Amino acid sequence: MLIDLHTHSYYSDGLLSPKEVVRKAVNAGCNFFSLTDHDTLAGLEEAKKFAESFNLTFINGVEISAQQNSQSIHIVGLGVNPSEKLLIDGLKKNNQFRIDRAKEISEGLGNVGIQRAYEKARALSKTDNITRTHFAQMLIKENICSNMSSVFKRYMTGKKPGAVKGKWALSAEVISWIHQAGGLAILAHPLRYKMTLTKLKKLVKDLRFLGLDGIEVVNSFSSAEDIRISKMIADENELLYSGGSDFHGWAGQTIELGNIPKFDYGEKLVINYLI
Ligand code: AMP
Ligand code: MN
Ligand code: MN
Ligand code: MN
């Protein structure tokens, strides 16, 4: 059984259309697949329609940016109803911050001599959903950086010129939108927040208290040790298991859709709890 419950299309920071992403899931031999664009539901209808013509179970998804204290985190909603007003209105707030933030990022980059960054990053996005990935791709295209990780290190994080503090919706709100939309709330890539194990455990415990349903125990590059730690944290908090590649499809990215380490999800696979 193959699942991929974390992927992106060009409605957020992926390169491909929802149809092309579905095609990848079919070719990879996925049984369960979800499109989880950042803070948008725009690609779901196209993906669902196309997936239904194959032997592939499509799950409506979204990866929502959230604040937990000063930490920005990603919460994936799986099985959400894309017509739910509370969710739609909530995502609008995050998208307004995206636009304001993009202008701030652009100003910061302007201060170090990178002109018209907003316009150039916007030109790489099919929509108004401008992510840091678009800025990163723009800096690579302009030969200012050679790859994504160097962009984030040199320009987009910490006190670097294009870094802006997150002002996303609070995780409590995000979890409530997902639940109102009939979905399950999953903490994305728990080991990517650069937290100590003690802090991460506290984060998950706090989120659990707010209604978190599961965590991703497997991502593209999870080592056996990563999986062991993620599973332990899930079990300690009686959380469900999810897994996904976080496929984006940009040139130079080695992540492939459906290509995640094998894991025996058993009964606690999140799919079993979706209505
Ligand atoms: P945003 O949601 O606009 O803050 O952009 C976050 C996105 O940037 C993530 O979903 C990743 O796709 C990408 N990203 C963040 N950090 C890195 C990194 N160090 N290397 C490559 N991509 C990254
Ligand atoms: Mn992304
Ligand atoms: Mn993420
Ligand atoms: Mn993602």
| pLDDT level of residue 252 (50, 70, 90 thresholds) | confident
Give pLDDT tens digits for 22-44.
999 999 999 999 999 999 999 99
pLDDT of residue 105: 98
**Short-list 200, 182, 166, 172, CA closest to 75:** 172
Distance (Å) from CA 14 to ligand 2 centroid: 7
Distance (Å) from CA 133 to ligand 2 centroid: 7
CATH of span 3-91+170-273 = 3.20.20.140
Give the number of the ligand closest to the Cα of residue 133: 1
Mean pLDDT of 245-269: 96
For domain 98-156, is the CATH number 1.10.150.650?
yes
Rounded Cα distance between 144 and 166, Å, is 24
Fold match between domain 3-91+170-273 and domain 98-156? no
| pLDDT level of residue 127 (50, 70, 90 thresholds) | very high
Output the pTM of the full model.
0.98
Residue nearest to atom 6 of ligand 1 (CA): 132
| pLDDT level of residue 275 (50, 70, 90 thresholds) | confident
| pLDDT level of residue 55 (50, 70, 90 thresholds) | confident
What does the mean pLDDT of the chain come to? 97
pLDDT of residue 193: 97
Mean pLDDT of 184-201: 98
**Short-list 246, 257, 236, CA closest to 20:** 257
Those residues whose beta carbon sits under 5 angstroms from the ion ligand 4 are 63, 246
Residue 6 pLDDT exceeds 90? yes
pLDDT of residue 50: 97
Give pLDDT tens digits for 128-183.
899 999 999 999 999 999 999 999 999 999 999 999 999 999 999 999 999 999 99
Residue nearest to atom 3 of ligand 1 (CA): 131
Domain spans of the chain, in order of start: 3-91+170-273, 98-156
Residue 257 pLDDT exceeds 90? yes
H-helix segments, the chain: 18-28, 44-51, 85-111, 117-122, 132-141, 148-151, 171-180, 197-209, 224-236
Mean pLDDT of 175-198: 98
Q: Quick check: helix, strand or coil at residue 24? A: helix
